[in-house]
């Protein structure tokens, strides 16, 4: 079983970074334990929690365990594809005693202050700095005034 886990970890490190389960949340308690907004309808300048799960994360063996470095960013685009806002998110370096097989991230984000009412798409990008790879996902939402 140990050999299989090592092989799986190696394959994950060289596989595409997968970003999934993107959700706008009111609360996040842990991996897969979150409460979504009932409807993705927000007001300008409203703060929300943005949750996502990330697979195939690369980790570097360091003295104190295994280190990962993930950097997030997002763009908000209108239905015509025009950029409305973009933001770099804090880098999340982490050292864990074991090579992690489940990884989730939570960001507090704010809807733009000067955004017209309408429908939008948030496009999330995660950069795995240790693996030199990127993953993408998106979520649609509405701004109401």
Least Cα distance to 122 among 50, 71, 53 occurs for: 50
What pLDDT is attached to residue 12? Answer: 56
Whole-angstrom distance, CA of residue 103 vs CA of residue 19: 10
Least Cα distance to 105 among 18, 47, 41, 8 occurs for: 18
Q: What is 2-143's CATH number?
A: 2.60.40.3880
* pLDDT tens-place string over residues 74-120: 999 999 999 999 999 989 789 999 888 779 999 999 999 999 999 99
For the chain, domain boundaries: 2-143
Per-position DSSP letters for 64-75, written without gaps between them: TEEEEEEEEEEE
Task: Report which DSSP code applies to 13.
Answer: H
**What global pTM score does this model have?**
0.89
Question: Above pLDDT 70, what percent of the chain?
Answer: 90
What pLDDT is attached to residue 14? Answer: 61
Whole-angstrom distance, CA of residue 140 vs CA of residue 128: 24
Residue with the two structure tokens 């970890």: 9
């Amino acid at each position: 079983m140990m050999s299989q886990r090592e092989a799986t970890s190696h394959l994950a490190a060289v596989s595409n970074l997968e970003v999934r389960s993107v959700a706008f949340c009111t609360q996040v308690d842990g991996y897969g334990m979150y409460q979504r907004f009932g409807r993705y309808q927000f007001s300008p300048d409203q703060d929300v929690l943005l949750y996502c799960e990330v697979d195939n994360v690369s980790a570097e063996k360091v003295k104190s365990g295994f280190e990962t470095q993930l950097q997030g960013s997002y763009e908000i685009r209108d239905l015509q594809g025009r950029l409305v806002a973009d933001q770099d998110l804090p880098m999340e370096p982490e050292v864990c005693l074991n090579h992690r097989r489940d990884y989730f991230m939570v960001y507090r984000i704010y809807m733009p202050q000067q955004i017209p009412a309408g429908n939008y798409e948030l496009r999330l990008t995660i950069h795995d700095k240790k693996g030199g790879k990127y993953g993408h996902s998106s979520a649609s939402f509405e701004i109401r005034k």
